[in-house]
Structure formats: C-alpha cells, structure tokens
Chains A and B, each alone.
Chain A
Amino acid sequence: MASFDDLERLREEGLTRVREAAGGEALRALEREYLEKGGVVTSLLAEIPKLEPTARRDAGIGANRLKGEIEGALAARREELLEAELAREAGGAFDATLPAAPSQRGSLHPITQVTREVEEIFTAMGYRVLDGPEVELDFYNFQALNIPADHPAREHQDTFWCDEEQNLVLRTQTSPVQIRAMETLEPPFRVIAPGRVFRNEACDATHEHTFHQVEGLVVGEDVNVGHLIGTLKGFLGEIFRRETDVRLRPGFFPFVEPGFEVDVRCPFCESGCRVCSDTTWIEYCGCGMVHPHVLRAGGIDPERWSGFAFGMGLDRLVMMRHRIDDIRHFMGGDLRFLTQF
C-alpha cells in the first residue's frame, strides 16, 4: 500500500512507466493501475479523510497534483504514440494495393440506366413517357402506321406472328405507341415510348431478335422539319455529353412523309475511326413528319395539326457508350457482365 511519504517516488515511477509505455494497451493498463477505482492514486485520495486534519491539506494537494501529472503524462504519451503510428504509415507501412472489401450493392441493367437517362432528358423537355404492349395487334404495328397487308415494307421487318391470321404480332417497333398515344391524348402533346421490340433474325454479335427502342412523337400546330432537327440535336448533345452534329438524309418509313434517316457525327473521333467506318457519321435513327394517313388513323386532323416522330435503338447507344462488342450480353443474364454497370 502506497503512502503519502512515497509521493515523490510514486511520481517518478509512475511518470517513467507512462513515458516508456509501448502502446495503447499498456497505457490503458497504467490508467487502470493508477487512476481508476482501487488504483494507486485513487486509493491515496480515499485515504485523505482518515488523516489527521492538519495533514489533510498537504496530502490533498500532493495527491491531486500526482493525479494531474499522471493524467497529463498519459495524454501526452497517447499523442506521441499516435504521431509515431501516423509517421510509420506515412512512411509506407500502409499497403494501398490490398484488396477492398467487396461492394455491397446490386445493379441496374445498362439498358435500364440509359432508358432512364433518355426519359429524364425528354421529360425535362415536356414529354410524357408512355408504355405499350409487346404482343401487339397488327392494326397498331402495321395498318394504322400506313403499312397495309401487302406492303413490301413488311418484308423487311422480319415479323414474329402470333397467329396464322396475322392479327397479332410481337411488335417490330415502338411505333405502335404513336397510334395509342393519338387515341388517348389531345394535341398538342409530346411523348416518348421506350420498350422492347422483336425481329425474327438470327443472333450474332451485332444482331438480336429482341432489342430496345425509344419512340418519340410530337404533335402540334406548325411543327416542322427544323423542329425535328433541333430536337434530335438537343437530345443527342445531352446523351453523348458533347455538342453533336446531325445530318438528315432521305429515308423510307411508311408512317412518315417526308421520312429521314439521321446520321450522328461520330462521338469518338474527328476524322474517321472503326466505329464510324471512317465516315465520321454513324447512322443513328429513323424519323420524319407524321404521315397524314397516320394522323387520321389516330383521329387527328392533318390540316390543323402536324407532327414529327422518331425511333432509335437503345442497345446501340449503350454499346457505343461502353464500347460493348457483343449485343448478346444484354439478354444473356450473366452476372459477370451485369455487375460491371
């Protein structure tokens, strides 16, 4: 049991031990030994009331000073040890190449991600987003789009038919949503309709029988080709995140008149590269002014209203953005692909 006579020795011994403590564990042990309930200093302080009244004052001062000094030394030594540890790590002890703990998240399909981006760009421009059935009536997929039963354009669509009478198809394009939009909305309106479409063709690295498009339709008074160009340029500039030049050239789609193909200035090069086959242009989407027959099929007077429509592939957009070399990854459901996004 320590006594007040030993204060100086206790002080020397205590401070030395604190100064020489090797680490946090040792400091914690010393803290317990000296300062906590039952510790050396705590016990001394507890003795004070038992002393002669005359001795109490000096003893109190001495014991409290000892307590303060040891507390101070502990704090100083802790700081010293922390500095040393930081110096050691800064000196290269930390291995930055050790693997991280695995990520704790799932993922959205890259097609979903780009679809959302497209939706955001267009909704910000006042477009509604619509949905349409994938098993679609021939009426919406073809007839109302100015593609009657014997139209040669059907030949190129590689249609999946769902019945022998050819009344029901897996939609070959998102364009049927144009008619559905006209049936339900009063002009003027602006809509887009992203979704899954089908073409009966063999799959390879650049062809899929199931892929994704987004359709756009604007109907208003005095809507013209210039508006179409401005809209596509604005959209493409956003999606490619740089000003993007577009070029219209004649294209044939029965549901627009005039109809155009749109080339986009290659976002990857200045003077030709593999992606654009050295032309600096990439064929990107089909569009045009809505054919009067189509407006009429949707119950809209073509003398009063005009409109433009466009349709573009989303898979290709994702492939261009991420330089994906095989379209089959999209529908393949392989986690090694999906977890990259």
Chain B
Amino acid sequence: MLLSYRWLERHIDLTGTDAEEVARLLTLHTAEVEGVERVLPHLDDVVVGFVVERQKHPDADKLSLCRVDVGTGENLSIVCGAPNVDAGQKVAVARVGTVLPGDFKIKKSKIRGQESHGMICSVRELELGDEHDGIWVLAEDAEVGTPVSGAVGLLDWALEIDNKAITHRPDLWGHRGMARELAAILDRELHPLDLTLPETGGAAGAPVRIETEGCTRYVALEVGNVRTGGSPPWLRHLLLSVGQRPIELTVDVSNFVMLDLGQPNHLFDRARVGGEGIVVRDARAGESLTTLDGMERKLETADMLICSGDEPVALAGVMGGEASMVADETTALLLEVASFHAATVRRTSARLGLRTDASARFEKSLDPNLPIQAAAHLVRTLAAIQPDIELPSPPTDAGPWTDPSVELELRPERLRKLLGAPIEDTEIARMLGKLDFVVVPGDPLRVRVPSFRATKDVSIEEDLIEEVGRLYGLTRIAEAELTAAVRPVPRDARRDAVRAIQDRLAGGARFHEVLTYSFLPEELCTEVGAESETCVEVVNPVSEGWQRVRRSVVPSLLGLLQRNLRNTDDVRLFEVGKGYLPEHTDERGQPREVHEVGMVWAAPAPGKRARFDADRLSELKGVVEELLAEFTATFTWSAASDERPRWSHPGRRLVASSPGRDGTQQELAFLSGLDPRIARSLGVAADVAVARLSIDALLALPDRGSRYTSLPKFPGVKIDVALAVPEERRAAELVHAIERAGKGLVADVELFDLYRGEQVGEGRKSLAYHVLLQSETKTLSDKDGQKFLARIEQEAEKLGGELRKE
C-alpha cells in the first residue's frame, strides 16, 4: 500500500520530519516501509512558462507559434498544436533536454519551417490524467521558471508499506490510521476530522433488506443534485501521489474516502438502482454479473450480492456492476458503505482472482463503526467541492452489527517481565492513550480497546504488551543472556546417523551431496518408469506435471545424471532426503515419511581386461558395505525380490538386511544396476549403479556393539587357492567351503581373481582367493597348510569343482 507524505500532513503536523524520517519511524514502530519515492519526479524538470505572445503558424492552420517566458530572460519559441493555447496563460513547459514519461526526450526541432525549442504539455503528456484536448493551463499565481511540481503542489513522496506487515491491522489501510500511529510515535495531536453526517431531508430513504450472514451492516444514503466531471487539483494530486488515476469527481471522492479512512464504499447511479429497495443476499447457483471491468462473472452460492430488487448490481465487497455505475449523465447517487464478513469476501475474491482495493480491506475485518463515519466523510468532502448537493433523506442503516470494542486487563508487572524493560505504569497508560485506548489506572490496568483495533487484532493482554513495546521502542530493550541448569543435550540418533553417512560418502567415497526437489516431475517419472506408483499429490502444483511428491530420492538423482555426465565422466551423487508413502497413512491423515540416503554412481563401463570388481555395482557395493559396517556387523546380502522399482536392473539387484531390535528382519539397503532401458530413456550411456539406504531401518538395529577383536598372538600362514567350479556356484558357497576346510583357522578370505575361459572350460569359472590361516594357540606350520589344501580339494569336489594347481 502507498502512503502520501502530503496526505499524511492533512491529518498531522509533520514539521521537523521528512518522508525518509517518517518511513524510518513507521518501520521501527508500526510496519515496514519498503521504500520511499518521489511522486511524479519528471515534474521537477518541467517548468512554469508564461505565454508572452501567440501567433498563427504561417504555414499550418492548426498550429500556433508561441513565445514563452520560462524565467531565463530569453523567450523560447515553441510551436504548439493545442487549440486552447493563448497569450497570458501560465503553462507547463518541457524544455530541450527534458525527458518525459515513456522515455520521450524533448529535442530542438523544426515544424513546418519554424523552430521549436520545447513543448507546452498537456495533462496526459505529464501522466496526470487522460485529458488531451488541449494544453494544461496552470493557476495564474504559478511562479514562472519554477518546477511545475512545486508550483502546483505536487512535491510529494510515496511511502510503500509492506502489505504483509499490516494484514492484522484493518485500521492501517488508510492515511488517517497511519497518521494516528505517527501521532503516538511523535507524541503529537491528530488534526480533528468531522465525521458526523450533515443534516438531511426527511424523505424516505431506499429500503435495505439483508438476507445473508455475510453482511453485518449496510448504510445507504441518497445524494442528489450531483454534477459529474473533473476533480479539483488537490484531489487529483492526492490520488496521483498514491498511484491512483483520477477518473471523475464522484468516483475520485469515493476512492479518496477509502484511502483516507480505509473503508471501501460504492456509488450507484440512483436512477438505475434502489427503486425497489436494496437487497443483500447470497448468489444463487448459475447467476452471473458483469462487473465494472466489463467481465462477466459466474457466481456461486458462497458469493454475496448487492441487488436492486432482485437484480444483482454489485459483487459485495469486491466490485460493482457495470450496469449501475455512475455515468456522465448521473445526477443522483446511492452511496453504499457496508460491513462485510471478511472470509466471504476473501473467498470470492480468491476464487475469481479478483483482488481489489476494496476486497483487500474487507478481508482484514473492518470496524463496523466505520460505515456511517465514512458516509459522512464522503458527503462532507463532496459538499466542499459542490456545496449545493442535496441529502433528501436520512441514511438507511441496516444490519445486526455490534460494537466490537472490549475491555482487557493489563498487569504492568507482567508487561515488564515479558518485555524485559522497565516501563512505568504512567508511561504505559500514556502510550496506549495516544493510540485511542482508554486506560483506567490500577493493578491490573483496565484498558478499553477502540473498536477499530478490536475486530481481530487486539483481544488479549499480550496484544497490549506488543502495543506498548513497539511504541516504547524495541531497540531500547537491553539484550540479556538466558541462564539454565547445565546438563548434556540428549543426542539424536537420527542426526548422528545422517552425519556419519554424509561424512563417509563425502570423504573417502568421493561422493558429492546434492539436494533435489521433493517433487517428481511427470517427465522424469515417465523416464524412470514410475508412472504406476502412487504418490502424495499436490493439488496446486507450481507448474504443470509437478504434482507428485516423491516416494524416494532415487529418481531425482537419476534425473541429474545426463546433465552432469556432459561435464565429467565420473558422477557420484548422494542425497539424504524424505519420501512419502500415501498407502500408509495414519489415522490423522498423514502419509508415512521414509528417510533415506540415495546414491548413484555413473562412470564409463570397465574395459574387458578390468578386474572382476571394477564395475560400478561392485564398487558401490563396497561403499554401501562400508556405510552399513558403521551400524551393524551382521548384515547379509541376498538377491532382491521381483517387486522392485522399474529403474532397477532385473538381473543385478540385491538387498542387505539384518535383524532389528524387535527381531524383525530390516531391509537396510537396496542396491542395483540401472535397467538399460531406463538408462536409454534417461539418455545415459555410462555404467550406472544405484543404492538406497533406509535410515529408518538403520535406526531400528540393535547397538553396534564392540568392534574390537584381540590382535593375533602367533603368525599365520598365507595360502592362495584357485577353485574352478560350475558357473552356477555362488561366491558365498566357495567362501563357506574354504571356512569348512580351515576348521576354524580361517582368519581372512579375499577374492583376487575371477576367470572364465579356455583354461577352465565352458560353463565353468575360476575364483582365486588369498586365505589367511591363523591359530590363537600356536604358530602354524607348513604341515597345517598342506592339511588345509587337502581338505579344500575335497570341498571343491563337493561343489562339482576342483582345486586348480599350477
């Protein structure tokens, strides 16, 4: 919302301040001012000129050749096309070099052979209104050579108030309310404002019937003998200074009252409205109304209408109807000033996407005392311009409204304790008094809240404490240190786990942490083959196709591969994040949240001669094992079931699991290659492995326990064995065979070669191991090694294989 400094001056003496200072004071005590700007700054460069002489242009009928004094001692020759220009006028002159709105730079020019050194401006050229049928003729007392801004009283500043800072303050949506704040801050008095209605005639007013709960008060007042037309300069200037375009006198006065008091109002052409009385009612299904802006609005039963008889004439609190608006020929008005239910107006305005100055104010819960005051203000303002307007009948004042003002108790001691500031009782009373709260001394203080603060904002003791705190000055409150008993802050297992995982991945494993959106965009969803998975969905997505909330972080990571592979050939990414499972929704309606670590590793496929464990899946398996070892010493790998995400490789996927504290098997990690079809749709040609670690499952594990085993007391024997076995034998079976053959002496088994080829024959493979045999009771001899080899030979045969000998 914009505030005009000059407008504020109509309500309070601001001597000794300037717009910047007022902005600072309001920011520190009331609401943030986001900026201060000169109003219509281009008027500083346009000067008052005096038309000394006017001749007809020798070569053009419609042009005039003027000599204009602009206070420089030398008269300018200016060619002017306006019909109303004449000698003796004071006019607005844009000289050569001046830039007018629209980046229009005035240059020296020749018009039909005559030189022109500037331009005499119209109202429209200066963006002061729509009139363009002639030049703007200034008042006779305007001083030649001075900037037009000062000469016509348009030296003003606009203060932009942050609307969010005043959502709770219906009283601050007009200049009077802001001036009241300044009066309290500066400890000055507001200028009096007469808000009583002038005497009216005794004719019967328009009857008003309220048929909806959405309207608590409706004031209707007839105003006769009105002449429509242009507004006087002071009114035009005030409206311009807050970015409103002057339109027509009655409309301008209506807007002025809204911007002055914060109370929206509406003017109907009396000839077109109210013949059968005014009815305020809910809209009926299927009804529609063409609003002032010419748009036809389809209405719903939650919308509220103002009707003339049964004919809708305005969308209550939002916008008037086109058919009943004031027109040139209007001579009598029906003024509406009402109290509408905030939520009703808000819903209609939100549904129609029709945010107006009126709806913005009604949404804030306006003071129901205001309508009659605003009606008086409007009539008095109009009468000051057109003294012969008539009020044939008293206002119709309908509705079940009640005065919202309340009395609260304020304990000064509690105030001092909560603010941490030593503010005296008398000072508390003085400050509240400046804001029109009525304070009865005592303990507690009894404080009557004025109605314009009582609709929503001030209802409890703490609200009063806030008032005192902000007027006292928050910057005056001394900082203090909290004290408390010293005791350890309980550790959070989840956070510890996440940190350990992050550190290991970003450290030795050389993974880079990313954060990705919780949304799974349609396109990515299709690419990773997750279309059939049910997701929590946002009903108002940020863009089309962005409604899904992800179940897992993995698809988001897969979506990052292609782009990063353009810049580097080894991409290792991880994210710690949350997924949501709508099929597991609790009784309050909240979907289950799963907390997981997703990892993807993409790199060029290993060459044919690379070691058996050089592919991404094996390497990522190593990384995952390292992470799991942080939490458990007893996990086991097994092949994953078929019900797995589409992106996972159907032949290369596995899970690591371990029993949890409650005995149930916990699936700790899922590891997989990327399905080549999904890789293709993602545009990824690299060798990709994917893993998902469940933080929830890791936290369900029993304590990791001790990591220590005593160091060997006797040297061990290292033996290499190569076993040729049928292809279908699993590596784990061979390790078991080696352990059996070792009869408890096997301290370590490490696979170092995997070979397929001529030397072992079709359908077979050879696995070569380093085996460490160690005893806790004696030094092992070559003989122990020989016995082991003999037994492993037998074990190999049991597996359908053989011990290979060089």
Known contacts A111-B515, A252-B164; decide if A226 and B567 are in contact (CB<8 Å).
Answer: no
Contact of B419 among A116, A167, A224 (CB under 8 A): A224
Determine the distance from Cα of A260 to Cα of B29 in the docked complex, in whole angstroms: 10
Interface membership of chain A positions 106-131, coded 1 if the CB is closer than 8 angstroms to chain B and 0 otherwise: 11110110001001000101111111
Determine the distance from Cα of A302 to Cα of B252 in the docked complex, in whole angstroms: 49
Interface residues of B in 521-575 (CB under 8 A from A): 536-542, 549, 556-557, 560, 563-564, 567-568, 571-573
A227 near B482 with CB under 8 A, answer yes
B516 near A331 with CB under 8 A, answer yes
CB of B136 within 8 Å of the partner chain: no
Chain B hits for A5, CB < 8 A: none
CB of B202 within 8 Å of the partner chain: no
B463 near A257 with CB under 8 A, answer yes
Interface membership of chain A positions 278-293, coded 1 if the CB is closer than 8 angstroms to chain B and 0 otherwise: 0000010000010110
CB of A336 within 8 Å of the partner chain: yes
Chain B hits for A128, CB < 8 A: 489-490, 492
A133 near B346 with CB under 8 A, answer no
A226 near B168 with CB under 8 A, answer no
Interface residues of A in 189-244 (CB under 8 A from B): 190, 196, 198, 200-203, 209-210, 218, 220, 222-227, 229-231, 233-234
A143 to chain B, nearest CB (A): 12
CB of A20 within 8 Å of the partner chain: no
Task: For chain A, give the interface size range.
Answer: 35 or more
CB of B460 within 8 Å of the partner chain: yes
Contact of A167 among B418, B503, B589 (CB under 8 A): B589
A109 near B418 with CB under 8 A, answer no
CB of B591 within 8 Å of the partner chain: yes
Determine the distance from Cα of A291 to Cα of B588 in the docked complex, in whole angstroms: 25
Determine the distance from Cα of A334 to Cα of B514 in the docked complex, in whole angstroms: 8
CB of A150 within 8 Å of the partner chain: yes
Determine the distance from Cα of A327 to Cα of B728 in the docked complex, in whole angstroms: 53
Q: Which of A153, A170, A202, A292 neighbours the largest number of chain B CB atoms within 10 Å of its CB?
A: A170
Contact of A108 among B417, B502, B567 (CB under 8 A): B502
Determine the distance from Cα of A182 to Cα of B364 in the docked complex, in whole angstroms: 30
Contact of A249 among B28, B164, B479, B489 (CB under 8 A): B28
Known contacts A226-B479, A252-B164; decide if A162 and B536 are in contact (CB<8 Å).
Answer: yes
A334 near B563 with CB under 8 A, answer yes
B515 near A331 with CB under 8 A, answer yes
A198 near B518 with CB under 8 A, answer yes
Chain B hits for A336, CB < 8 A: 567
Chain B hits for A131, CB < 8 A: 492, 494-495
Contact of A134 among B505, B537, B578 (CB under 8 A): B578
B589 near A335 with CB under 8 A, answer no
CB of B30 within 8 Å of the partner chain: yes
A126 near B512 with CB under 8 A, answer no
B343 near A150 with CB under 8 A, answer yes
A162 near B549 with CB under 8 A, answer yes
Chain B hits for A78, CB < 8 A: none
Chain A hits for B104, CB < 8 A: none
Chain A hits for B542, CB < 8 A: 160, 200-203, 209
Interface residues of A in 250-293 (CB under 8 A from B): 250-252, 254, 257-261, 283, 289, 291-292
Known contacts A224-B420, A334-B563; decide if A249 and B580 are in contact (CB<8 Å).
Answer: no
Known contacts A156-B167, A170-B538; decide if A250 and B517 are in contact (CB<8 Å).
Answer: no
CB of A72 within 8 Å of the partner chain: no
CB of B605 within 8 Å of the partner chain: no
Known contacts A134-B578, A188-B484; decide if A252 and B168 are in contact (CB<8 Å).
Answer: yes
CB of B388 within 8 Å of the partner chain: no
CB of B511 within 8 Å of the partner chain: yes
A160 near B27 with CB under 8 A, answer no
Stretch at the interface among B193-201, B242-250, B466-474, B668-676: B466-474
Chain A hits for B478, CB < 8 A: 226, 229
B470 near A230 with CB under 8 A, answer no
Chain A hits for B590, CB < 8 A: 133, 135-137, 168
Chain A hits for B507, CB < 8 A: 105-106
Contact of A156 among B164, B482, B541 (CB under 8 A): B164
CB of B510 within 8 Å of the partner chain: yes
- Starting from the known contacts A152-B363, A250-B30, A250-B31, 14 additional A-B residue pairs (CB-CB under 8 Å) come to A106-B505, A129-B492, A160-B542, A162-B537, A163-B589, A168-B591, A190-B484, A196-B518, A200-B540, A209-B542, A225-B419, A249-B29, A334-B563, A335-B564
* 4 nearest CB pairs, A to B: A226-B420, A258-B466, A224-B420, A226-B480
Q: What are 13 inter-chain pairs, A to B, with CB distance below 8 A?
A: A105-B507, A106-B505, A127-B489, A133-B593, A139-B588, A161-B539, A170-B549, A196-B515, A200-B542, A226-B419, A252-B31, A261-B32, A333-B557
Please list the residues of chain A having a beta carbon within 8 angstroms of any beta carbon in chain B.
104-109, 111-112, 116, 119, 123, 125-131, 133-137, 139, 149-150, 152-153, 155-156, 160-164, 167-168, 170, 188, 190, 196, 198, 200-203, 209-210, 218, 220, 222-227, 229-231, 233-234, 247-252, 254, 257-261, 283, 289, 291-292, 306, 330-331, 333-336, 338-339
